[in-house]
Chain A
Amino acid sequence: MIVTRDLTKTYGRVTAVHGVALEVREGDRYGLLGPNGSGKTTLIRMLLGLVYATRGEIEVFGLPMPKRVKEVLPQVGALVEGPGAYPHLSGRTNLALLDAAGPGGARRDRRRRIGEALERVGLAGIDGRPVRAYSLGMRQRLGLAAALLRRPRLLVLDEPTNGLDPRGIREVRDLLTELNEGGTTVLLSSHLLAEIEAFCTRVGVMDRGRMVLQDDLATLRGPTGRVLLDTPDGDRACALLDGRVEHREGQRLTVRHDAPHDLNTTLVTAGIRVAGLVPEQRSLEQVVMAATTTSSDRVEGSTA
Chain B
Amino acid sequence: MIRVELAKLFRRPRTYVMAALLCALPFTVAVFLATTRIPPPPGQGGAFLSAVLGNGALYPAAAMALVLPVLLPVSVAVLAGDAVAGEAAAGTLRYLLIRPVGRTRLLVAKLVSLIVFVLFAIGTVLVTSYLTGTALFDAEPEGSVTLPADVTSLSGVAITPAGLAMRLLGTVLYLTVSMLGVAALALFLSTVTDSALGAAMGSLAVLVASQVLVTLDAAASVRPYLPTRYWLAWIDFYRDPILWRDIERGAALQLVYLVVLLGAAWANFMTRDVRS
Contacts and interface: CB of A to CB of B under 8 A. Distances in A.
B98 A86 contact: no
A85 B94 CA distance: 11
Interface string A241-264: 000000000000000000000000
Interface residues on B, range: 20 to 34
Nearest to A50: B274
B90 to A, nearest CB: 6
A170 B213 CA distance: 64
A52 B95 contact: no
A89 interface: yes
B1 A73 contact: no
Interface in B91-118: 91-102
A56 B13 CA distance: 46
Interface in A54-100: 69-70, 73-74, 76, 78, 80-89, 93, 97-98, 100
A301 interface: no
B71 to A, nearest CB: 23
B94 A80 contact: yes
A57 to B, nearest CB: 17
B102 A86 contact: no
B95 A97 contact: no
A70 B100 contact: yes
B19 to A, nearest CB: 17
Contacts of A82: 91
Given A70-B100, A78-B98, A100 B4 contact: yes
A88 B7 contact: no
A48 B93 CA distance: 13
B268 to A, nearest CB: 13
A39 B96 CA distance: 23
Query: Interface on chain A toward B: helix, strand, loop, or mixed SS?
Result: loop
Interface in B67-106: 90-102
B36 interface: no
A49 interface: yes
B15 to A, nearest CB: 11
B245 interface: no
B97 A50 contact: yes
Given A76-B98, A80-B94, A86 B4 contact: no
B273 A69 contact: no
B265 to A, nearest CB: 18
B274 A74 contact: no
B47 to A, nearest CB: 38
Given A84-B92, A85-B92, A101-B1, A51 B98 contact: no
B102 to A, nearest CB: 7
Given A51-B274, A52-B271, A88-B13, A98 B99 contact: yes
Contacts of B4: 97, 100-101
A73 B100 contact: yes
24 contacts: A45-B273, A45-B275, A48-B97, A48-B98, A49-B100, A50-B94, A50-B97, A50-B98, A50-B273, A50-B275, A51-B275, A52-B273, A70-B100, A76-B98, A80-B94, A81-B91, A84-B94, A86-B8, A86-B90, A87-B90, A97-B7, A98-B95, A101-B1, A101-B99
